[in-house]
Amino acid sequence: MRTRRALLDALADGPVSGPELAADLDVSRAAVWKAVESLREEGFLVESTNEGYVAPADPPYTAAGIAFGLDAPYRVEHHETLDSTNARARELALADDTDTADLVVVADEQRTGRGRLRREWRSPSGGVWVSILTRPSLSTAHAPVCTLAAAVATADACREAGVEAHIKWPNDVLVGEGGERGGRKVAGILTEMQGEADRVSWLVVGIGVNANVEPEELPSGATSLAEERGESVDRRRLLQRILERYHRLVTEPDRILDAWRERTSTLGARVRVDMGGETVEGRAIDVEFPGTLVVETDDGHRRRVHAGDCEHLRPASR
Ligand code: BT5
């Protein structure tokens, strides 16, 4: 595994000489050859040239392809099909193997993808369904800021793919305006964690992006990047951008709120937030650490909402 990762990293910088890599890593040439073969078996077709091994021009959407050139310290586990990447990541976290920190679980398709409150999340093949498992030194009360970071990272990656996405509090990534959601939903985020004595012991941030998904496969009010762009998107690149951006944001948590504020359509909008029975209606005026929405009600009171479903009743006047 170490040789494989080192080989991928070396390939990202240009042609690699097998004997030199073996010497650098202090492993046998056969071990390097085995790593080359394991990458090829996965569809990551390393070429042998006179200058040495060369990476394929178009890396596949597999564990090796996603890890290749990734500027973030995550190991990658890829599955064709899973029930849910969040469930798999949680299972790994609970196995209590410290090796499982900084791991991302990716599936091409999920059988029982989940939204918040165990709602169904449609996850046909072609989407980006991913869970990031970390063991951050964070208090459980502060963990919601990681959901905001994931929303910022996802919105930025969508924008880089040419789709003007914005964030609806707390975790929806939308395109356009209107409808009861305040836009067409292109991505959602589900964060799960466990803590001990107020410290997070593991955190799983699940991100679902409708990348190359047909609208007919999605619920009404949803869209995909391919639909918005009129052509399919490079999922590998999209996922790499999400992971890189997310990683950078969580290492600089002080910058997350401002980045979120810049990309949201919720602030300034008239909203109704359903907190599971109780609703609050008014103007969304701010988001406070670690993700609390501040709503000014018509009688001038400020209500702080920690979690709920938010509906945009009237967009912010811009
Ligand atoms: C979310 O929940 O938006 C969180 C979605 C998280 C999905 C990721 S995929 C990787 C990881 N593994 C998982 O099992 N989950 C995570 P929520 O805000 O509760 O929105 C759920 C609602 O969105 C549903 O009730 C539907 O109305 C709608 N919906 C379902 N599938 C959708 C899709 N693919 N695109 C857009 N909207 C969808």
Q: Which atom of ligand 1 is nearest to the CA of 127?
A: 34
Q: Which residues contact 258 (CB under 8 A, 6 or more apart)?
A: none
The closest alpha carbon to 134, from 250, 43, 42, 38, belongs to 250
The 10s digit of each residue's pLDDT in 160-215 is 999 999 999 999 999 998 776 789 999 999 999 999 889 999 999 999 999 999 99
How many CA atoms lie less than 13 Å away from 308 in the CB half-sphere? Answer: 22
Which residue's CA lies nearest to atom 21 of ligand 1? 115
> What's the pLDDT score for residue 273?
97
Q: Which atom of ligand 1 is nearest to the CA of 85?
A: 12
The partner residues of 200 in beta bridges, in order of sequence, read: 195
Say if CB 53 and CB 46 are below 8 A apart: yes
Verify whether ligand 1 is closer than 6 Å to residue 208 (CB atom): yes
Structure tokens at 74: 């995550």
Say if CB 251 and CB 229 are below 8 A apart: no
Euclidean distance between CA atoms 77 and 112, whole angstroms: 18
Verify whether ligand 1 is closer than 6 Å to residue 113 (CB atom): yes
Radius of gyration of the chain (CA): 21
Euclidean distance between CA atoms 248 and 26, whole angstroms: 32
The closest alpha carbon to 224, from 184, 195, 193, belongs to 184
Which residue's CA lies nearest to atom 19 of ligand 1? 116
Between the CA of 103 and the centroid of ligand 1 the distance, in Å, is 21
Euclidean distance between CA atoms 266 and 268, whole angstroms: 6
Which residue's CA lies nearest to atom 29 of ligand 1? 121
Please state the pTM of the whole predicted model: 0.96
Structure tokens at 76: 């990658």
Verify whether ligand 1 is closer than 6 Å to residue 169 (CB atom): no
> What's the pLDDT score for residue 317?
67
Is residue 11 helix, strand or coil? helix
Between the CA of 208 and the centroid of ligand 1 the distance, in Å, is 7
AA identity, residue 203: L
Verify whether ligand 1 is closer than 6 Å to residue 188 (CB atom): yes
Other C-beta atoms within 10 Å of 217: how many? 15
Between the CA of 166 and the centroid of ligand 1 the distance, in Å, is 16
How many CA atoms lie less than 13 Å away from 37 in the CB half-sphere? Answer: 6
How many CA atoms lie less than 13 Å away from 112 in the CB half-sphere? Answer: 4
Euclidean distance between CA atoms 229 and 54, whole angstroms: 32
Structure tokens at 45: 């077709």
* Mutational test site, ligand 1, from 91, 118, 121, max ligand atoms within 8 Å of CB: 121
State whether the Cα torsion 243-255-144-217 is positive or negative.
negative
Between the CA of 86 and the centroid of ligand 1 the distance, in Å, is 12
Between the CA of 232 and the centroid of ligand 1 the distance, in Å, is 21
> What's the pLDDT score for residue 181?
74
Domains along the chain? Answer: 2-54 (1.10.10.10), 70-263 (3.30.930.10), 270-314 (2.30.30.100)
Verify whether ligand 1 is closer than 6 Å to residue 19 (CB atom): no
- Per DSSP, helices labelled H in the chain are 2-12, 18-25, 29-41, 63-67, 85-94, 144-160, 225-229, 235-251, 256-263
How many CA atoms lie less than 13 Å away from 231 in the CB half-sphere? Answer: 3
Which residue's CA lies nearest to atom 35 of ligand 1? 222
Is residue 53 helix, strand or coil? strand
Between the CA of 225 and the centroid of ligand 1 the distance, in Å, is 15
> What's the pLDDT score for residue 197?
85
> What's the pLDDT score for residue 177?
87
Verify whether ligand 1 is closer than 6 Å to residue 121 (CB atom): yes
Q: Which atom of ligand 1 is nearest to the CA of 84?
A: 14
Q: Which residues of the chain have pLDDT under 50?
A: none
Euclidean distance between CA atoms 293 and 122, whole angstroms: 27
Verify whether ligand 1 is closer than 6 Å to residue 122 (CB atom): yes
